[in-house]
Amino acid sequence: MRIAILTSGGDSAGMNAVVRAVVKTGILKGCEMYVVREGYEGLVRGNNEHAEQQAKNVAAETEAEVEREVKATYEAPHGQPAVNLLHNLRFGDGELLKDGTCEFVGGRTLKGRYIVRVGWDDVRGWFSQGGTLIGTARSMTFKTVEGREAAAHNLIREGIDALVVCGGDGSLTGADVFRREWPSLIAALKEKGLVSEDQAKKHAHLKIVGLVGSIDNDMSMTDLTIGAPTALQRICEAIDNINSTAYSHSRAFVIEVMGRDCGWLAALAGVAGGADFIFIPERPPTAMPWEDDMCAQIHRHREVGKRTTIVLVAEGAHDSDLNPIKPEYVKDILTERLGLDTRVTTLGHTQRGGRPCALDRILATHPPGSRSNRCLVAIHGRHPFIHDRFAREQDRASTSNGGGRTGKPFPDPPTRAVKAKDYEKALELRGSEFKEILDGFFATSMLAEESAKLPKEKRMRIGIIHMGAPAGGMNAATRAAVRYCIRQGHTALAIHNGFRGLLDGNIDQLSWLGVDAWTPRGGSELGTNRALPSTDIGGVAAKFQEYNLQGLLIIGGFEGFTALLQLEEGRKHYPAFHIPMVHLPATISNNVPVTEYSIGSDTSLNALVDACDAIKQSASASRDRVFVVETQGGKCGYIATMGALAVGASLVYTPEEGITLDMLRRDVRFLKTRYSLDPPGKSEGRLVIRNEASSSVYTTTMITKMLQEEGGSLFDARSASLGHTLQGGIPSPIDRVRAARLSLKCMVFLEQHHNRLLGQKHRQAPPESASVITVQTSSVKMVPVQEMVKHADMVNRRGKTAWWFGVKHLEEQLAGKPQFLGLHKSPEYQASVSGYAKM
Ligand SMILES: Nc1ncnc2c1ncn2[C@@H]1O[C@H](COP(=O)(O)OP(=O)(O)OP(=O)(O)O)[C@@H](O)[C@H]1O
Ligand SMILES: O=P(O)(O)OC[C@H]1O[C@](O)(CO)[C@@H](O)[C@@H]1O
Ligand SMILES: [Mg+2]
């Protein structure tokens, strides 16, 4: 089968990772892979026959060269290699695509060729590049029937059976139009004698699959579009930078952010960047005139001493009558009415460019439709390499929407609802998470008036404590909790330095302004350590009583979970623990059972990706180097596994699987095979990721030495330990937003259970009033700590099972390991992969 992939619409970070993953997966499934340059425009233009013939000659030469390398490599008894991978190793145009060279280079050119055959190595090193190396366009021609007819003709000429489109809502709408129209396009081409009867029969249906790549995150039915997290990161970096200069001058800044008709970027940046006010299309200001409302809010913030004012304006912002709201106008209002020294910053295309963050690489690579992301929306037909589980979801999606094969592919876009001024519907169509985040923004950014507070008898004294190692987002979670408390009239008490600090009475009250700048701060503002309540459980109970704690929020990792368990069990002896208590998982290791994500793990993956990109660059420059990179994570291989996926590592070692001598022997053989198949003098740097606790015998040093010894003339080896760098740095926006969202839910949980206990003479808190907030397949669930224990491996401090276990096999597949070793058909390997398919 021949499959072509194109990228279309505005570029987004992660599109290259999509192309790489699709090309590699296609080859592994026995397909021939093509890229279409310049989006739909390339499809319309097709290939100039002369240039194509030349390319075929070059490809034949390259193939012959690869053949020679393969023969030399496989003379040794290395098992039977995967034939399709070796015959699709490279076709000679990879470098031209990567360097953007269209001119003749050594007899090769991309000029006049828009549909280009690619192999495994042709997409190497694409992962870390921003934008899209195969080019994108907004094609007017494809919007016409004539253009689409030319596109269909070109696809048939090249014998392409299936098309993968990575782009935004426009691109996927275009794909759907193309799919629906296909039979009539074929009929027209046949009538004109441009395609034969046989061709028409063979290409009676076009299989199309869409991956949603857009910074706007404006696609219904998908949680995240590929590129949106990176754009959000760019915006937050800008806001963080602007905040410091705004603080210095006590200035106001009005910042315009992209997102065309969608407020996702502005809303999330508002939460993650700690903005004062936001304007988005889906929720225009409710109070009219909105200028008065905005000024009153900002005035209140200034009154309590706030030195900065950040107002975010989405590109498509307007008032409830659809009159555009423009940054310059907002600036004039702030200057004239509040006398603020105000500046406008338009972030523009800086938001769209640059290296993809870890999450975008994972979204692009992880099998679409897996439980954590649904980035792939199948438009028609069953794609040959769609994961089974996804295929099932796809079937469900097409029926539940009346779309897919039969009708409209996507639900009514929220944009249409906005245009009809039905803002409630627009928000509903954006999904409940979007609405929650927006509500979270209002709850945490605005200083409420006294009248909004709860009646005195319902107000609580809530303790907030950090536990375990620092993790990005701990401070953002605390800020959200404090802001919520103040809004409701509760007292937010900071317990400094964990349970040790509690026993020392290191407790004080937190204020609205005091936590204002905490969102972008890494580490732990409260101070954190691993001391558990069991150190002195009686002393802890006494302090609970002394400070009259009526609710507790524990932000931390496995220790946080263990602490909650001890406190809940302590209820048997200490009445002070009969209060609602909740644990919010925050750990880079992501080792808390049941929950799919702990805050801090996204930040840590970004730190890993940054470091590994730099290391890989160094390794590649040295031409023949393998780096063994050691990660933290304790006895949990999450960071190592997902990090390996996000950086395209060749090998990964985890504590769950451990390391054996047989494994090492096989892995050395794999690296030798892989290096011997590189073009002479052009060996790529490669990475091996090893979790710190994978084996006490086969240490990072030992593996590095072994590779040095075994690499011989093929490769050299070095090591790098990332250590505590993975815990620090500026929290990622995704962690900040998740932290705020989960923290607010924790606060509501505490209130609800407190209300139930009110009026009880002898408070008897039920077991479910001590719970952990968890994320499970995109929904947030409170799980009683006693229930959590059943899923915990208390000895190894991790969950008994986790959604990401099978990702290691995907990672190995994309490195080509089983195929290069001829293991891909072995029963053992098949068994391990089928375990993954069941996930
Ligand atoms: N209704 C349509 N029929 C045919 N082709 C279309 C249609 N809508 C869009 N396209 C094609 O898709 C291309 C990209 O669409 P658009 O400019 O809306 O970007 P997008 O895919 O939504 O991405 P983004 O919004 O992230 O920039 C268009 O230039 C056009 O070639
Ligand atoms: O790069 P262009 O064509 O000016 O388009 C800008 C638009 O593209 C996007 O970046 C992606 O759709 C929008 O947010 C923005 O409105
Ligand atoms: Mg769009």
**Rounded distance from Cα 177 to ligand 3 centre (Å):** 15
pLDDT of residue 622: 78
**Rounded distance from Cα 509 to ligand 2 centre (Å):** 45
Please tell me the distance from the alpha carbon of residue 516 to that of residue 479, in angstroms, as a whole number: 7
User: pLDDT tier at 832 (50, 70, 90 boundaries)?
Assistant: low
Q: Give the chain's radius of gyration (CA, Å).
A: 28
pLDDT of residue 412: 53
**Rounded distance from Cα 69 to ligand 2 centre (Å):** 45
Task: Give the class (CATH, top level) of 2-224+358-385.
Answer: alpha beta
Ligand 2 atom nearest the C-alpha of 315 is: 16
**Rounded distance from Cα 520 to ligand 1 centre (Å):** 35
Q: Is the pLDDT of residue 784 over 50?
A: yes
Please tell me the distance from the alpha carbon of residue 535 to that of residue 570, in angstroms, as a whole number: 13
Rounded to the nearest 5 degrees, what angle is found at the Cα of 502, between the Cα atoms of 568 and 754?
A: 45
Pocket test for ligand 2, best of 136, 171, 215, 265 (most atoms within 8 A of CB): 215
Q: Is the pLDDT of residue 181 over 80?
A: yes
User: pLDDT tier at 65 (50, 70, 90 boundaries)?
Assistant: confident
Q: Is the pLDDT of residue 399 over 50?
A: no
**Rounded distance from Cα 410 to ligand 1 centre (Å):** 14
- Give the architecture-level CATH label for domain 455-599+731-799: 3-Layer(aba) Sandwich (3.40)
**Which chain residues have CB less than 5 Å from ligand 3, an ion?**
168-170
What is the CB < 6 Å shell around ligand 1? 8-10, 40, 138-139, 142-143, 167-171, 173-174, 177, 214, 216, 260
Please tell me the distance from the alpha carbon of residue 474 to that of residue 367, in angstroms, as a whole number: 30
Q: Is the pLDDT of residue 837 over 90?
A: no
Which CATH fold would you assign to the domain 228-351?
Rossmann fold (3.40.50)
pLDDT of residue 371: 30
- pLDDT tens digit string along 609-621? 999 999 988 888 8
User: pLDDT tier at 466 (50, 70, 90 boundaries)?
Assistant: very high
User: Rounded mean pLDDT of the chain?
Assistant: 90
Q: Is the pLDDT of residue 387 over 50?
A: no
Helix 145-157 × helix 169-191 angle, to 10°: 70
Q: Say which ligand is closest to the CA of 281.
A: 2
Ligand 2 atom nearest the C-alpha of 138 is: 3
| Ranges 63-72, 348-357, 458-467: which has the least confidence | 63-72
Ligand 2 atom nearest the C-alpha of 170 is: 12
| Active-site amino acid positions | 216
Q: Say which ligand is closest to the CA of 9.
A: 1
Q: Where are the alpha helices (DSSP H) in 289-357?
A: 290-303, 327-338
What is the CB < 6 Å shell around ligand 2? 10, 168, 214-216, 258-260, 315, 352
pLDDT of residue 102: 64
- Give the architecture-level CATH label for domain 609-729+808-838: 3-Layer(aba) Sandwich (3.40)
The whole-number average pLDDT for the span 479-488 is 98
Q: What is the 3-state secondary structure (H, E, C) of 518-573?
A: HCCCCCCCCCCCCCCHHHHHHHHHHHHHHCCCCEEEEEECHHHHHHHHHHHHHCCC
Please tell me the distance from the alpha carbon of residue 347 to that of residue 352, in angstroms, as a whole number: 10
CA nearest neighbour of 720 among 660, 805, 643: 643
Q: Say which ligand is closest to the CA of 316.
A: 2
Residues of the chain with CATH 3.40.50.460: 228-351, 609-729+808-838
Pocket test for ligand 1, best of 7, 8, 45 (most atoms within 8 A of CB): 8
- pLDDT tens digit string along 41-63? 999 999 988 777 877 887 888 88
- Per the rule left: phi > 0, alpha: psi between -120 and 50, beta: everything else, 712 is left
CB 496 within 8 A of CB 526: yes
Q: Say which ligand is closest to the CA of 409.
A: 1
- pLDDT tens digit string along 276-295? 999 999 999 988 899 999 99
- pLDDT tens digit string along 93-152? 888 888 877 666 566 788 889 999 999 999 998 988 999 999 999 999 999 999 999 999
Query: Which residue, by CA, sits nearest to atom 11 of ligand 2?
Result: 10
Please tell me the number of Cα atoms within 13 Å of 386 on its side-chain side: 27
Q: Is the pLDDT of residue 822 over 90?
A: no
CA nearest neighbour of 730 among 464, 467, 476: 476
pLDDT of residue 144: 98
Residues of the chain with CATH 3.40.50.450: 2-224+358-385, 455-599+731-799
Say what the ipTM of the complex is. 0.95
Report the length, in residues, of the chain: 839
Which two three-digit tokens encode residue 704?
A: 């590095």
CA distances from 674 to 419, 643, 661, 809, 818 (A): 55, 21, 20, 18, 11
- pLDDT tens digit string along 579-632? 999 999 999 999 999 999 999 999 999 999 999 999 988 888 877 899 999 999
pLDDT of residue 451: 87
Query: Which residue, by CA, sits nearest to atom 30 of ligand 1?
Result: 139
Q: Report the b/e string of 131-164 with b at 16+ CB within 10 A.
A: bbbbbbbebebbeeeebbbbbbbbbbbbebbbbb
The whole-number average pLDDT for the span 195-199 is 95
Ligand 2 atom nearest the C-alpha of 260 is: 16
**Rounded distance from Cα 282 to ligand 2 centre (Å):** 18
Query: Which residue, by CA, sits nearest to atom 16 of ligand 2?
Result: 260
661 versus 825: which is more confidently predicted? 661
The whole-number average pLDDT for the span 406-415 is 57
pTM: 0.93
pLDDT of residue 450: 86
Q: Which residue has the tokens 């912002």?
A: 317
Q: Is the pLDDT of residue 838 over 80?
A: no
